[in-house]
Structure 1
Amino acid sequence: MKGVTLTIDITSLPAERIAFAVSPLAELTSMLHVLAEPGHHPALSGWATATLAGLKPALADRLLEAEFLWRSSRADFLVPGRPGPDLAAELDAVDRLGDEVYVAAALVTTCGSSRLSVKRASPLTDPAAADRAVELAQARGPRQAAFAERLLADPPVVRAAVRELLEACADAFFADAWRQVEHRLAADARHKSELHARRGLAAALTAVSPAVTLDGTRILLDKLQDNHTSAEGDGVTFIPSVYGRPHLLTVHAPGWRPVVQYPAADRHDAAPLPLDLVRRRLDALAHPVRLRLCRTLARGAHTTGELAGAWELSAPEVSRHLAVLKRAGLITTVRRGRYVRHSLDVSATATLGADLLASLLR
């Protein structure tokens, strides 16, 4: 089985097209992810509890209905390749996207690991693609299915509702939180830019994360995907995040400027150990297939079929590995109708060590 690395080709890319910048929209959706998955962010549990307690019931209900939009993955347009001066400007840029681009990106959050199956034909014009998108969304859950159906039926109405929800979050909690972290994020981006200018890209990437390295004309990211994209003619954007820690989030779909959202430097935090070192410490997760399945399940619940499709394995082989993980108490299983979905037990995994958890959640 191949290694798990996301490669960004920067051959012939001018240095000035590698940018370090802050993004209010990316940080807002990082906060929303924390509210949806507080177990991934124990250092922010106090903030998450206080924020959720302070929400008006109507907004809390709307966030609960929409949490799949940022719980396991985020639509590419929520992590801007060209950050704007403020949240309103970034949302305006999203509004300028065509419906087909917006819908294809939004469906990633409802179709799990099956991004490739919905990009070959537009579900707005191809009935078979629309049916497939809804079928994949149904496997994820009733909220995902309802969202996919509404989005395909009337994109402008859904787009307006998503923007309105993000603006409501800005009024409720984001504006205050952003004021507290904006200067820190700007300082982090400025520091990385200065490192890039003075000491080169390799030094800047080392400061970004131990999971990001430079190999000649390629940026390598230790990520869940085994994939490749190119920055030629466009560029790469690196966005620091306070609320995104410990995740290393990437945008790499064809047609989008590659983006890497990384944890902002914090002198109080130790850098997460490389995954290879963690793997050597833990005999229970030494098998590479089970380790990769855990990294997939750390992003959200998946069916056996989804896991098999994502890793090009047979369903019986995946079932055997899931049985081992379940006997070890590392995953939980829930049946919803005809679908059986598996999730990483974050609390159980955390007992094995913070370094392991941070590596799985990258």
Structure 2
Amino acid sequence: MPVAVVGLNSVSAAVSPLSELGSALHAVGDPGHHGADLPPMSAALRRRVRRWAFTTRAIRATPFVTVWGSDDGFAAQLDQLRALPPRRLATQLIRPISPPGDTAAALRYAQARGLGDQVAALVERPGPAVTEFLEFLAESWDAWFATRWLAVRPVLAARARRFAHDLAALGPAAALAALDPSITVAGAGVSIAKVANRRHDVSRRGLVVVPSTLIRPHLYVADVPGRPLVLIHPVDAGPPVLPTRDLLRRLAALANPGRLEVARAIATEPRTAGEVADLWHVDPTLVNRHLRALAAAGLARATRRGRFVQYELDASAVDALGGDLLGLLLR
């Protein structure tokens, strides 16, 4: 279930203060899996962050995933947002809640999420609602994030330059694969390990990679119609990711009750199929099939001793399974 990206004839890197601010606001809303070291925030600003949190959660509002000019600072980006017609910007802000242009769905789903009044204001009275959002962005930057940006901008710029170097030296697919272990070369494009099954042909729209010091553990793919595909990636490569097919194979192996019982039999000491069959009163052919399936899934180790083959559960692989699953879900 990977995300495939093909047509890599226009790939570039960009550094975006507004994108990094979006990652910071996301981290504030989901501190459990980010653990980011962020500046302290006033109680009043924290309330405003909660009010607009829906724009930076699982799906980000368009302004946070927009491709800006390479030298645009936050003030220039904010001015570009201010120049947009209020209704157009309001539509961009409800992207995380509903399909583009479906205001009826936006109002319906907003009610389910406790955002009815706020989204209704964006739909029905976009001028004041958009003004409030722009004021929130300005306050978040001036009172909270600007100092951090001064420290991280050189780091992001250096990572963007390194990607540009890899792009010229290795080609687009290999340069993208060097960003993170969850990205691998696949044919003429790349495959990204995510819980999704999508294919993006970027031959006409282009692909822009945006480094972030705060996006981990996510690897964010932003698909906004009519715009370049945006990939926001951790500035430092994350840990290796278990391929989706391997994770599904391990989960399926343990989902079988009989196989789970066989796994218990080899959890504390190595045993042969015959030994497990005799001690647990199970058909030896079935036990052998279960043991081979566990070994094929990477959950058991097989050791030959003369004419016998002993199997032992790989406790570290089983112990890591929850983390592997969570890592894929958060990726």
TM-score by length of 1: 0.66
Distance 1:26 1:62 in 2: 18
Instruction: Look up the match of 2:32.
Output: 39
Percent of aligned pairs with the same amino acid: 31
d(CA) in 1 for partners of 2:60, 2:117: 18
Three-state SS of the structure 1 residue aligned to 2:52 is helix
CA contact (8 A) 2:176 2:183 kept: yes
The C-alpha deviation readout for 1:85-105, integer Å capped at 9, x for no partner, is 211122223334445543333
Task: Give deviations 1:225-283, integer Å, cap 9, x for gaps.
Answer: 433444334421000111011111111132121100011125xx533333334444446
CA contact (8 A) 1:201 1:214 kept: no
Of 91, 115, 118, which residue of structure 2 is paired with 1:104? 91
Contact 1:20–1:237 under 8 Å retained in 2:
yes
2:111 equivalent in structure 1: 138
Partner Cα distance (1:171, 1:110) in 2: 28
Q: 1:189-200 counterparts in 2 under 5 A?
A: 189-200=160-171
Q: Give the secondary-structure state (helix, strand or coil) at the position aligned to 1:259.
A: strand
Q: What SS class does the counterpart of residue 135 from structure 1 fall into?
A: helix
2:5/2:201 contact within 8 Å kept = yes
Is 1:255–2:255 an aligned residue pair?
no
Secondary structure of 1:208's counterpart equals: coil
Please give the alpha-carbon distance, in whole angstroms, between the structure 2 residues aligned to 1:170 and 1:24: 9
Aligned amino acid, residue 125 of structure 2: D
Shift in alpha-carbon separation, 1:359–1:80, aligned structure 2, 3 A: same
Give the distance between the partners of 1:252 and 1:182, measured in 2 at CA.
25
Q: Structure 1: give runs of 5+ residues left out of the alignment.
A: 123-128, 288-349
Q: Hey, what's the Cα distance between the residues in 1 that align with 2:5 and 2:81?
A: 24
Matching residue of 2:292: none
Q: Which amino acid aligns with 2:7?
A: I
What are the residue-to-residue correspondences of 1:265-304 with 2, within 5 Å? 265=236, 270-282=239-251
* Match runs of 1:76-115 below 5 Å: 76-83=62-69, 84-99=71-86, 101-111=88-98, 115=99
Rate the CA distance shift 1:194–1:278 in 2: closer, same or farther, 3 A: same
Q: 1:282 to 1:160 in 2, by over 3 A?
A: same
Q: Distance in 2 between matches of 1:285 and 1:171?
A: 52
Question: Is this contact kept in 2: 1:7–1:218, CA < 8 A?
Answer: yes
The 1:63/1:109 distance shift into structure 2, 3 A limit, reads: same
Q: Is the 8 A contact 2:166 2:175 kept in 1?
A: yes
Counterparts of 1:1-362 in structure 2, within 5 Å, are 4-10=1-7, 13=9, 17-42=10-35, 44=36, 47-48=37-38, 51=39, 54-83=40-69, 84-99=71-86, 101-111=88-98, 115=99, 119=100, 122=101, 129-139=102-112, 141-142=113-114, 144-265=115-236, 270-282=239-251, 353-362=322-331
Give the superposition deviation at 1:73.
1.8
Indicate the SS of the match to 1:63.
helix
Which residue identity does 1:77 align to in structure 2?
Answer: P
Shift of 1:187: 1.2
How big is the alpha-carbon RMSD for the aligned residues of Structure 1 and Structure 2?
Answer: 2.7
SS at match of 1:265: coil
Q: Note closer, same or farther for the CA distance 1:154–1:228 as it changes in structure 2 (3 Å cut).
A: farther
Q: How far apart, in 1, do the equivalents of 2:252 and 2:158 lie?
A: 40
Q: CA deviation at 1:72?
A: 2.3
- d(CA) in 2 for partners of 1:203, 1:9: 13
Which amino acid is the alignment partner of residue 183 of structure 2? Answer: V
Aligned length: 268
TM-score (norm 2): 0.72
1:221 to partner: Cα distance: 2.7
- Distance in 2 (CA, whole Å) between partners of 1:28 and 1:273 is 30
* SS, match of residue 72 in structure 1: coil
